[in-house]
Amino acid sequence: MAMAPGEAPEVLDPPSRRTRIRAILDGGKAQAGRRVVVGGWVRAGREQGHGAPDPFAFLDVNDGSCQGNLQLFVKGEVVGYPLARLTATGTSVFVEGVVRRDERAKHGVELAVTRVLEVGEVDAAAYPLPKTKTGHSLDPAYIRDFVHLRARTYLISAVFRIRSELSFATEKYFRDEGFLHVHTPILTTSDCEGAGEMFQVTTLFSQAQKLEAELKENPAPTQADIDAAKIVAKEKGDTVAQLKSAQATKQEISTAISDLKKAKQDVLTMEERSKLKPGIPRREDGSVAFEKDFFKCPAYLTVSGQLHLETLACALGDVYTFGPTFRAEHSHTSRHLAEFWMVEAEFAFANLQDDMNCAETYVQYLCKWLLDHCQEEMEFMVKSHDKDAMERLKLVSSTPFKRISYTQAVEILKDADRKFDNKVEWGIDLAAEHERYLTEVVFKKPVIVFNYPKGIKAFYMRLNDDEKRVAAMDVLVPKVGELIGGSQREERLDVLEQRILDAGLPLERYDKYMDLRRYGSVRHSGFGMGLERMILFATGLDNIKDVIAFPRYPGRADL
């Protein structure tokens, strides 16, 4: 049957769905004989018999579905053009072929290509990821400049599969534990951590830019312009009076009146426009006029969904959220990002002990999940970046975490046989070097430090009976230091009020948060884990910029 132009054929040829390379490699020799369509990018290609009558090429192709490559065997006669078009690293190929056994290939199979359906060529001289850089000897810092291409490397693609598994395992863990997944807002007017390191969200700048452009095009009227318009309006008024006394026709008078109205309106508009000033709108006292802003008050990108999560936990019991989180800290460390993903859990009728238990079993679950689902990726990490990565996961998934109080931690650090850059005394915030010493050197496993001095922790943490410390806990892990921060929350209205005041925060902004303590207050606890820190811990990579697709940090937010 003839097809009308533009009509889709009933049977697509080639099949529109490709087979993922993972399915072929996992299936191994049992896949032999299967006809499939695959698509991917060449990691390494070589042509043989160039110039001979029957040249052929081997292409190691990866499609991101797994760590391994599928070897493609392509005969020159099949493609009909120089095989060199296919062999450059980075070339995309979409081919049909038959899987066949190949004892030399790692997975025991290769694909004998019968048709090349599509090719996306690469100028090998310009492509920034040379063959060797896709392999084991990769320097993560080198490819950081190519955020748009680096996911094609062994390293970064492995990171993304690990990241994806950790996200899924998170959902699974909390769901199996009976938590509800809730979504907390990204735009907020409250400062959860009270530390003031927030990105402000405002339309005042774009409003100001628009106004500036408009004033350039159509400048604000001067006083002289207004005076001239007033004279015109007065003349129009005189005309109306004259027409009335001369008993002109109704039509004439009404036309003159509408001219007068327009002239008066022009004066008003000009007076209004003359007040327009370029720049951010300000009040009489010079402060920024936030009432003119989108939300009519200062708003920010969230630094934590905790306050919202608490309100939901105080109705739904056990809840968690998982989303992007923002901190405008100017810390150029390998552990901080301006945008990162945080998993936050909050549970009602729970104390600090419950909090620590949940955080510990969650981290152990994640480690076990990676061992069960990311074996190839972890083997790659062991071979190329951190020989202890797999052992660490095994150890953490099966060993109880060490729990020590902050006071004990400080004692241990004071007695340490090494000198720290940051001075150790009771009351300090533990620095990464202290945290890593405790977990890597002293205990050689994850450590939960609890009961921190109130002065270094957020206002919402529950004040202990000694009134000096709060029911806070941090989970510290090797390679990273702080992986999780959490606490029991202050459920007593009067104590909370005082803590907010002591932190120098405006009480009225926390009124709804305090309502939770006015109406059916309950003991509750929670914690937050930075997903990227978990990936650092699992992979042994050194820099947090390498475990998120498009890292944002001071001076960098491109693509």
Contact call for residue 336 and ligand 4AD (CB under 6 A): yes
Closest to 529 (Cα-Cα) out of 319, 300, 325: 325
CB 377, min distance to ligand 4AD, A: 21
Contact call for residue 193 and ligand 4AD (CB under 6 A): yes
Q: Which residues contact 347 (CB under 8 A, 6 or more apart)?
A: 179, 313, 317, 318, 319, 354, 355, 358, 524, 525, 526
CB 309, min distance to Mg ion, A: 16
By a kind-dependent CB cut-off of 5 to 8 A, residue 336 interacts, out of Mg ion, ligand 4AD, none, with ligand 4AD
CB nearer to ligand 4AD: give 45 or 485. 485
Residue from 60, 386, 491, 532 touching ligand 4AD (CB under 6 A): that is 532
Closest to 200 (Cα-Cα) out of 328, 358, 56, 389: 328
CB 516, min distance to Mg ion, A: 22
H or E element, residue 518 = helix 511-518
Whole-angstrom distance between the N-terminal and C-terminal Cα of the chain? 48
Plot region of 78 (φ>0 → left; ψ -120 to 50 → alpha; else → beta):
alpha
Contact call for residue 490 and ligand 4AD (CB under 6 A): no
Q: Are 91 and 121 in contact (CB under 8 A)?
A: yes
CB nearer to Mg ion: give 97 or 446. 446
Contact call for residue 191 and ligand 4AD (CB under 6 A): no
Quick check: helix, strand or coil at residue 391?
A: helix
Q: Which stretch binds ligand 4AD (CB under 6 A): 16-24, 159-167, 483-491, 535-543?
A: 483-491
CB 476, min distance to Mg ion, A: 11
Residue from 482, 490, 491, 546 touching ligand 4AD (CB under 6 A): that is 482
Binding mask 448-477 for ligand 4AD (x = CB under 6 A): ------------------------------
Residue from 89, 91, 153, 306 touching ligand 4AD (CB under 6 A): that is 306
Instruction: Give me the residues paired with residue 98 across strands.
Output: 35, 112
For 42-60, what is the HEC assignment?
EEEEEEECCCCCCCEEEEE
Contact call for residue 159 and ligand 4AD (CB under 6 A): no
CB nearer to ligand 4AD: give 80 or 555. 555
Contact call for residue 485 and Mg ion (CB under 5 A): yes
Contact call for residue 540 and Mg ion (CB under 5 A): no
Contact call for residue 527 and ligand 4AD (CB under 6 A): yes
CB nearer to ligand 4AD: give 116 or 529. 529
Please give the C-alpha separations between residue 51 and each of 54, 72, 73, 83, 85, in angstroms, as whole numbers. Answer: 8, 20, 18, 11, 15
Q: Are 55 and 76 in contact (CB under 8 A)?
A: yes
Contact call for residue 484 and ligand 4AD (CB under 6 A): yes
Please give the C-alpha separations between residue 39 and each of 58, 63, 124, 180, in angstroms, as whole numbers. Answer: 15, 6, 20, 38
By a kind-dependent CB cut-off of 5 to 8 A, residue 192 interacts, out of Mg ion, ligand 4AD, none, with ligand 4AD
The residue at minimum Cβ distance from ligand 4AD is 485
Quick check: helix, strand or coil at residue 148?
A: coil
Q: Are 70 and 99 in contact (CB under 8 A)?
A: no
CB nearer to ligand 4AD: give 45 or 486. 486
Residue from 260, 267, 483, 547 touching ligand 4AD (CB under 6 A): that is 483
Contact call for residue 97 and Mg ion (CB under 5 A): no
Contact call for residue 486 and ligand 4AD (CB under 6 A): yes
Residue from 162, 342, 463, 547 touching ligand 4AD (CB under 6 A): that is 342
CB 558, min distance to ligand 4AD, A: 19
Q: Which stretch binds ligand 4AD (CB under 6 A): 98-106, 142-150, 361-369, 484-492?
A: 484-492
By a kind-dependent CB cut-off of 5 to 8 A, residue 95 interacts, out of Mg ion, ligand 4AD, none, with none
For 398-451, what is the HEC assignment?
HCCCEEEEHHHHHHHHHCCCCCCCCCCCCCCCCCHHHHHHHHHHHCCCCEEEEE
Edge-to-edge strand list for the sheet holding 339-348: 180-181, 318-326, 339-348, 524-530, 481-488, 469-477, 447-453, 402-405
Q: Are 437 and 484 in contact (CB under 8 A)?
A: no
Contact call for residue 192 and ligand 4AD (CB under 6 A): yes
Contact call for residue 485 and ligand 4AD (CB under 6 A): yes
Plot region of 489 (φ>0 → left; ψ -120 to 50 → alpha; else → beta):
beta
Q: Which stretch binds Mg ion (CB under 5 A): 124-132, 157-165, 316-324, 481-489?
A: 481-489
CB 393, min distance to ligand 4AD, A: 18
In the chain, DSSP finds a helix count (H) and a strand count (E) of 17, 16
By a kind-dependent CB cut-off of 5 to 8 A, residue 107 interacts, out of Mg ion, ligand 4AD, none, with none
What is the total residue count of the chain? 559
Angle of the 223-245 helix axis to the 250-274 helix axis, nearest 10:
160
Tokens of 198: 């927030």
Site size toward ligand 4AD (CB under 6 A) is 23
Contact call for residue 355 and ligand 4AD (CB under 6 A): no
How far is Cα 334 from Cα 544, in angstroms, rounded to an integer?
5
Contact call for residue 78 and ligand 4AD (CB under 6 A): no
Q: Which stretch binds ligand 4AD (CB under 6 A): 73-81, 158-166, 292-300, 482-490?
A: 482-490
Single-letter residue type at 397 = S
Tokens of 485: 């921060």
> Which residues in this chain contact ligand 4AD in the complex, by CB under 6 A?
192-193, 304, 306, 327, 329, 336-337, 340, 342, 344, 482-486, 526-530, 532-533
> Which residues in this chain contact Mg ion in the complex, by CB under 5 A?
485
